[in-house]
Structure 1
């Protein structure tokens, strides 16, 4: 059973083994969260050219030396045996590993997500239906458009101000709860 968690990956070394479309998608996901990753493969799909200045690319075959110091590893090669070796090594050495073709060997999965500033909505079907995850993601993207990034930031600022100005916890909770009924313009006035 999977446990939902958000990780602060800022100081974690992350390595992706593989240079195909799945590895590219995984690399861009990390870039969405401001994390530069290392990607190791003998060959890379053309899409990697679009992000080659944002990641570290190593043209080589898999060797455990590339993941020895990594905290998070993604095994995304097109070779099931190599992915298996990576998964076993990571599990034996206390590393987080996502083996893209072996859910049971993975100790984490990456859900679909909608990110709007600090608002992060994760969608997972436990690997049972990626199509349903994609459908739900599209629906959430329509409901929670780009304006939610600013809205979340303003809510955070207003909450901080309420906490600073109100010593009574019950009063704080009441005022903070009332914030979510305000528009962006009304929040701006509160700050």
Structure 2
């Protein structure tokens, strides 16, 4: 490691910036955000840079650089388009033992700017020492996705109450207390935007602190989407990395499951036709029991937890047991699979509404408002409808829907194994059998299906 990563306090300190173009403006933004007073030397400057100078109570000198401009500066940046000028600035600054950065010239720098991830008072710098700045920027983007936007608020809360904690607790207890704050319900509340509730919980715990409490249990009810891991939300990914144990369904793709924290315990609770590995009541109770033992429990579901996912039943049980929980929506299969198949669920020329329907047979019957479903100008999306496909088609035809209405079966939608079988109400049951379509498969019925060949963009 050639460059030692340090945090430099430039609040109200004079910083010299030589250059007035786009590159100099980018550096000035960083300095201004840290509260520096800007002194800029350049023949011309951008309008934004002029505003940054004014906002920082700084100075602008419309001039050619010379060494006297270094007087009083505590940090120097050379950001001109002339390598010779940048080299001169660097040499003069280093002769005076001033920290200096010359843009795109690591050999002229005594310090470099890292790629910065910022969350309030919390900042993370990623430096390659000027060797690979684009790689550092790529890593920054990955960290941006993993870090909760609310973690900055948590850092601000800690700063706000730090003196109170220091006064109330001796050193050993203080460390235990902060570990509890950053890994328990306080952190969950603040990161969810409930800062006042989080602060109240922190102060209540501080007033009664008798030592390190046991870990606080919580349940994360997360929608894993229809299969493609790229469709996960950032929040889902963060919680998947925090979980101690995960309960997952059959519809969660292996690629999504691979993103769960590697050392988390995994419990399969999936359901398929005529076989439930764990009954729903058992799943509900398992969530309560695991969280009651202080575990952070990830309940990972395919699609969205609240669209035919029985998520409402699970959080009802959690609320009854007073177990903290978070719910993260996921892209439901209807949206994900139809998009990857090139089938818009609504279209001005074909469908002005869309209905999501469960096609699951109950005791061999499928009781639905068939007359309403057979109405024109809408798209029907049947979840779990493969077993009852023949019944669905017959009922819709018998209630007035034309037999040539287009139908698509999307098997393993959004994954690399995706397959789309297209027919109409009269032919699709036979086609499904002939082509051995297997679950999970989504059934889409309506005029929008006719756009499949024209609009499809995803080729698994």
Normalised to the residue count of structure 1, the TM-score between the two structures is: 0.89
In structure 1, what is the equivalent of residue 178 of structure 2? 176
Q: Is the 8 A contact 1:123 1:133 kept in 2?
A: yes
RMSD (Å) for aligned C-alpha atoms: 1.9
1:49–1:86 Cα change, 3 Å: closer
Instruction: Indicate which of 201, 214, 221 corresponds to 1:189.
Output: 201
SS of the residue aligned with 1:7?
A: coil
TM superposition shift of 1:46: 4.7
What is the match of residue 156 of structure 2? 153
CA 1:72 to 1:33, structure 2 compared with 1: closer, same or farther past 3 Å? Answer: same
2:165 counterpart SS class: helix
Contact 2:12–2:37 (Cα < 8 Å) also in 1? no
Instruction: Decide whether the 8 Å contact of 1:87 with 1:99 is kept in 2.
Output: yes
CA distance, structure 1, for counterparts of residue 33 and residue 122 of structure 2: 13
1:109 and 1:156 map into 2 onto residues whose CA distance is 28
* Higher radius of gyration, 1 or 2: 2
From 65, 71, 93, give the equivalent of 1:90: 93
| Aligned-partner Cα distance in 1 for 2:71–2:50 | 26
**Structure 1 equivalent of residue 127 of structure 2:** 124
Aligned to 1:40: 41
Q: Counterpart in 2 of 1:70?
A: 73
Q: 1:177 to 1:160 in 2, by over 3 A?
A: farther
Question: Is 2:59 the partner of 1:56?
Answer: yes
3-state SS in 2 of match to 1:85: helix
Describe the shift of the 1:53–1:159 C-alpha distance in structure 2 as closer, same or farther (beyond 3 A). Answer: closer
What is the CA-CA distance between 1:50 and the residue it aligns to? 5.0
Q: State how 1:101-116 maps to structure 2 within 5 Å.
A: 101-116=104-119
CA distance in 2, matches of 1:105, 1:170: 45
Q: Distance in 1 between matches of 2:28 and 2:93?
A: 19
Number of residue pairs the alignment of both structures matches: 190
Q: Deviation digits for residues 144-165 of structure 1, max 9, x if unmatched?
A: 3432221111123444333211
How far residue 103 of structure 1 moved from its aligned partner, in angstroms, is 1.0
Distance 1:144 1:16, change over 3 A: same
- The more displaced of 88-97 and 142-151 is 142-151
Aligned 8 A contact 2:19 2:40 in 1: yes
Q: Structure 1 stretches of 5 or more lacking a match?
A: none
Q: Deviations over 1:112-140 (max 9, x none)?
A: 11122110111112212222222222222
| The 10-residue stretch of structure 1 (106-115 or 143-152) with the greater mean CA deviation from structure 2 | 143-152
Quickly say closer, same or farther: Cα 1:27–1:175, change in 2 above 3 A: same
More helix by percentage: 1
Distance 2:97 2:91 in 1: 10
> Is 1:18 equivalent to 2:19 in the alignment?
yes
Residue pair 2:10, 2:35 contacting (<8 A) in 1 also: no
* Partner-residue secondary structure (3-state), 2:61: strand
Tell me: higher relative CO, structure 1 or 2? Use CA pairs within 8 A at least 6 residues apart.
1
- Distance, in Å, in 2 between the alignment partners of 1:178 and 1:107 is 40
Q: Report which stretch shifted further, 141-150 or 16-25.
A: 141-150
Deviation at 1:109, TM superposition (A): 0.8
* Contact 2:101–2:112 (Cα < 8 Å) also in 1: yes
In the alignment, the residues of structure 2 paired with residue 139 and residue 13 of structure 1 have an alpha-carbon distance, to the nearest angstrom, of: 33
Report how far residue 52 of structure 1 moved: 4.9
